[in-house]
Each structure stands twice: as C-alpha cells, then as structure tokens.
Amino acid sequence: MRRTRGLAAIGIAAAALLALTACNSGSPTSPGGEATGGSGGGDKPLFEVAKDVKVDGSPTFDRITKNGKITIGVKEDQPNLGYLDVTTNQRTGFDVDIARWIAASLGYDESKITFKPIASANREQAIVNGDIDYYVGTYSITDKRKEQIDFAGPYFVTGQGLLVAKDSPIKSEKDLNEKTTVCSATGSTPIQNIRTNYPNVPTKEFDLYSACVEELLNGGVQAVTTDQAILIGYAAKDPDNLKVVGEPFTVEKYGVGLAKGDTALRTHINDLFTKGGTTWKAIFDKNLGSSGIKVEQPAVDAY
C-alpha cells in the first residue's frame, strides 16, 4: 500500500512542479532568433549565446566545431537538478541549466545541443570514449576519477545525506546497522562511502536513484543515500511518505567532467564560472531557491 500511495503522490507532485516551472523550463529564442537561457522569472534571459567563440588548443571544442553540435551527458531522474518529463520531453534543473550555460558560452544554442543520459557507473568511460563532449550531472570530483578525466569547477558543493520513509525511526547515519539496507546508484561515491565507513550495513544498487526511491517506497530498503540536494528534491515531491534526516556527513563537490588533458576547455569553463556569479545565482534561484538550501557559489579549483 505504501508503494501505491507513494508513487501516486510523486506523480501528483511532479505535475504540480511542472505547472510551476513550465514558464521557464526551456531555452526560449530571442527576437533575433538567437537562443538564450531560460527566464529567471521575468523577461530577461539567464544568459545569451556567445558569438565567434574560439577555444584554442581544445580537442573537444575542435570536435564540437566539426560536428556542428554539442553532446552533453546528464542525469534525467533528479528533480530540480536533472529531470526529464517524458510527457512533454522538457528537461529542467540546476545541472541542466548549468550545462546549457556552458554550451551558450561556446556558441551553441538549444537547437544544437544533444542531451545524453549516462548512468553514474558509465560516466568516465563515456568521456574517455568521446561519446559526450562534457558531463554535468551531480558529478562529484574525486582523485580516483581524475586519473581518467579532468574536472572544471566545482560549481556546487553539497554533502551526502539520507532519505527514509516518513515513519522511519532512522534519524541520521548513526542509526544505520545490519538491519537497515541502504540504496544508491551503481558506481556512485555515496555507495562507496557507505561500504567503506559502514561495512556492516547492507547495500543495494540500481542504475538510477529513482529506482532506489521506488524500492524505499516498496519497503525493499530502509534508506536511500546520495547528495542531500538530490534527496531534498525527492522528499519535496512526496512529503507524505518521504523525509530527509540528519545532517550531511560528507562533502561533495560537483564538477563538469571533461576529457583528460583538455586544459583549454577546463580553463574556459572555470573562467565562465568565476566571472559569471550573477548568472550562477540566477540559475540556482530558478531551480533550487525554493528548497531552502542556503549555499554560496564555490571558488573553482584551477589545478
């Protein structure tokens, strides 16, 4: 019964969220035909598409130029961060707008963007293979991942949290034990943290966080763990059945995943973040401002 009620509530809440965001969920076109960023609540776009862009020494930008389009890896099951409405085919969220902003800075409007959903476990390989030009999707910067790819940013800092059933006795990570199965995405940093720091806690993995949430509503697991920003989005969609508990117990820095050694593109994106604080805030306010999360734009790591 919990699963049926929970999924129905998610559907109803999702519809309400879409009604609220429909007016600014895409990338509208300016009077001159140039695609711009979504509106921040008024007529002024969040950002505009740059012209005559050059990123000398970037093999990724050279490939983009040759293809005449840009391919971006994203998530599509994370409300307010990276979300695809399968009915309207509209993509919304903080990460999606960050991805659009970067594309615009490279001279590419919405019509020349291909969004490609990539599961957490496959992100590095997709970048290494050149299947995508860059990845924006709650992608935590780690030293292990830096062995294969590079990161621009961070553009957001959060921490690992727990999502549980509304009637759960779990109040924080301290209550996890051998009887509390925790779910997260395959290959994600959060599931690795649980295994390392809480070795007696059973774990379960799925390709998508949404599958973990469904399993939680089903009673198949007792908690879902990932970055708190993601979990708040799920709890906001189904407050009658889900809640976020405790305080973040890690620090996760979200970066833009890039091909290893593409220093020119990494520098371009880092400069965009450094100089574009007003745009960053507008993107945050549009997508996450109502969540109650209080954050500042982080300084980039120009390694």
Q: What is the pLDDT of residues 100-115, one digit of tens each?
A: 999 999 999 999 999 9
What's the CA gap between 234 and 79, in Å, rounded? 7
Residue 188's pLDDT is what? 85
Structure token pair of residue 139: 């992608």
| Burial readout 109-130 (b: 16 or more C-beta within 10 A, e: otherwise) | bbebbebebbbbebbbebbeee
Strands 82-85 and 77-78: antiparallel
Residue 44's pLDDT is what? 72
Portion of the chain with pLDDT greater than 70, in percent: 85
Q: Please give the model's pTM, rounded to 2 decimal places.
A: 0.76
pLDDT tens digits, one per residue of 163-196: 999 999 999 999 999 999 999 999 888 999 999 9
Report the DSSP beta bridge partners of residue 204. 183
Could you please report the per-residue DSSP string of 122-153? GHHHHHHHTSSSEE-SS-B--HHHHTTEEEEE
Interacting residues of 95 by C-beta distance below 8 A, sequence separation 6+: 74, 75, 78, 81, 82, 136, 137, 138, 254
State whether residue 172 is helix, strand or coil.
coil
